[in-house]
Amino acid sequence: MVSAVAAHLLFFLVSVNLIPTTPILEERPFQAAGGGIGVALVKSRKRVFPVPHTEEPSLISEAYGYCNTPNRTEQAWEGHSPADYKLLSVQVMIRHGDRYPLYSIPKTRRPAIDCTLSISKKPSHPLMKSFISHMDQGGRGHWESPLGSVPRLPNHGVCEMGELTQTGVVQHLQSGQLLHQAYKRHNLLSFDWLPRQVWVETTGKSRTLQSGLAFLYGFLPDFDWTKVTVRHQWSTLFCGSACDCPARSRYLEEEQRRQYRLRVADTELEKAYTDMARTLGLATRQLRAANPIDSLLCHLCHGLSFPCVPTEDSGTGGCLTMAQFAVIRRQQLDDEVDRRRVGLYHKYAVLAMYPYLNRTATKMERVAKGSEAGRQPRAGGEEVFTLSSAHDVTMAPLLSALGLEQARFPRFAARVVFELWKGPSMTPGQPKKRVGKGDKSKAKDGELFIRVLYNGEDLTFYTTFCRSHDRHASQPLCPLKNFLSFVRRDMFSIFNTTSYQEACYRRPD
């Protein structure tokens, strides 16, 4: 896994319409993007930062990393802890799996991909057959409006734009199963889990809903539909009722201007677009608007050759080339470096992801309270497992807000996992007393810790809130209180304030 990460560093950035002013925003990846270095390679494994290459072969192998082809067994560090630590809750954000392009390149044939599911098609998965039949019973689940009318399986013989592919389903069956294995011995959910203990939310796009279901099926095979409620997040930022934040929109606009300036100053990129447009017989502007990198990536991920058009007397015709693709991706890497240097995106990201992080923190506190020694377990149980099925425009700002700016751009079916752990009780030798509220001895209850993982790698000690934590034998994990004070106050210090409200509404000077 580590070398896989090393081999495929990919950072795309996100573009334009991140502001949740319309119910569901299109993802428009790859209009601007960038590259960087896998965070996990840095300190602990004594790797040297690889120098970002700009040669074509490395750019292509990075692109394959983004595809996340499910043809290998993955290692996952989820569920790892010192002995005697108890796992209290897990909150997962996933990006949807492999999908059909969102845009087509004018004058070319769309890639020929069949989105219907079949066990005889590759790649497949041992759970595929039972997954398909389980989804047929989805009518017995509870669906927050408008999710009830979204198809629960990809089902078009010629994929629709943005539709999840069979590869995307397999990616999530595999991730769900991986986490099922990782958490099995921690008894996170017993076989007769209660409805309250599992929270599932998704945007209204079919690819996120279907990805979430595939993940859930891998995680909880043959789950009882009647216990599941699937909730709707209208904003790709998962910001619920706290989406209003004028400063966030301002930072995003400035960030977009930065991206634009960098792009138009790149003569090699301009030349690549001009050449591609000439091949296809289009105006350069028209090609640019069609966001060709998205479609080219799909070709690459599915082993299809790049689109061609017949040669005409006018001099147009030929095929789009790997060299042109590499130029666009090289510019995306440069953009990533510039984005980090300038810092506007990070400010945007902190404001964008606060509502989600605040909710994550609040859930952890609630579960922690429920686990205090002497407390009666709550009827219906605590929310021990949360699944948020999201987009790159959700996960990229989440990583940035956590201070994981070096992490590669979320590939298909990427995942971010927050684990809440409780350490062993601090009173060895003393018999456990049942204590009431306010009793001093409550403080001797085990301490609480958080782990943050990205695609199976433990990145906790790269986050802003635990980077400088002094790890030692008696405290090998990151204290939950670091995360809580980060979310509730410290993350706004970059705005010279201590709250979301102030950071969002203070007049720009």
Ligand X SMILES: *[C@@H]1O[C@H](CO)[C@@H](O)[C@H](O)[C@H]1NC(C)=O
- Binding positions for ligand X, rule: CB under 6 A: 64, 69, 71-72, 242, 355, 358, 362, 495-496, 500
Task: Reduce the DSSP state of residue 87 to 3 states and report it.
Answer: strand
Residues 6 or more apart whose CB falls under 8 angstroms from that of 117 comprise: 128, 132, 153, 154, 155, 166, 169
Catalytic residue among 98, 335, 392, 458: 392
96 is catalytic: yes
CA–CA separation, 28 and 353 (whole Å): 18
Cis peptide before 410 (omega within 30 of 0): no
Q: Which is closer to ligand X, CB of 106 or CB of 240? A: 240
CA–CA separation, 298 and 70 (whole Å): 15
**Neighbouring C-beta atoms of residue 57, cutoff 10 Å:** 10
- Token pair, residue 470, equals 């002094």
CB of 262 to ligand X, least distance (A): 22
CB of 3 to ligand X, least distance (A): 12
What backbone torsions phi and psi does residue 385 show, to the nearest 5 degrees? Answer: -135, 125
Q: Which is closer to ligand X, CB of 155 or CB of 358? A: 358
Helix, strand, coil percent content, the chain, rounded in steps of 5 = 40, 10, 45
Q: What is the distance in angstroms between the CA of the first residue and the CA of the last residue of the chain?
A: 47
445 is catalytic: no
| Angle in degrees, 0-180, between the axes of helices 56-67 and 292-301, rounded to the nearest 10 | 80
CB of 35 to ligand X, least distance (A): 18
The 8-class DSSP code of residue 462 comes to G
CA–CA separation, 113 and 99 (whole Å): 10
CB of 343 to ligand X, least distance (A): 10
List, in sequence order, the alpha helices (H) in 265-343: 267-280, 284-289, 292-301, 322-342
In 360-485, at which residue ranges do the beta strands (DSSP E only) sit? Answer: 385-390, 415-422, 448-454, 457-458, 478-479
Burial label, 121 (beta-carbon count in 10 A; 0-12, 13-18, 19+)? middle
What backbone torsions phi and psi does residue 230 show, to the nearest 5 degrees? Answer: -105, 120
CA–CA separation, 460 and 39 (whole Å): 11
What backbone torsions phi and psi does residue 85 show, to the nearest 5 degrees? Answer: -90, 145
Q: Which is closer to ligand X, CB of 69 or CB of 425? A: 69
Q: Which is closer to ligand X, CB of 53 or CB of 186? A: 53
Q: Which is closer to ligand X, CB of 205 or CB of 347? A: 347
What backbone torsions phi and psi does residue 397 show, to the nearest 5 degrees? Answer: -65, -30
Catalytic residue among 8, 96, 172, 299: 96
Q: Which is closer to ligand X, CB of 143 or CB of 483? A: 483
CB of 393 to ligand X, least distance (A): 20
Q: Are 184 and 122 in contact (CB under 8 A)?
A: no
Q: Which is closer to ligand X, CB of 71 or CB of 267? A: 71
Q: Which is closer to ligand X, CB of 15 or CB of 394? A: 394
Question: Which residues does the annotation mark as catalytic?
Answer: 96, 392
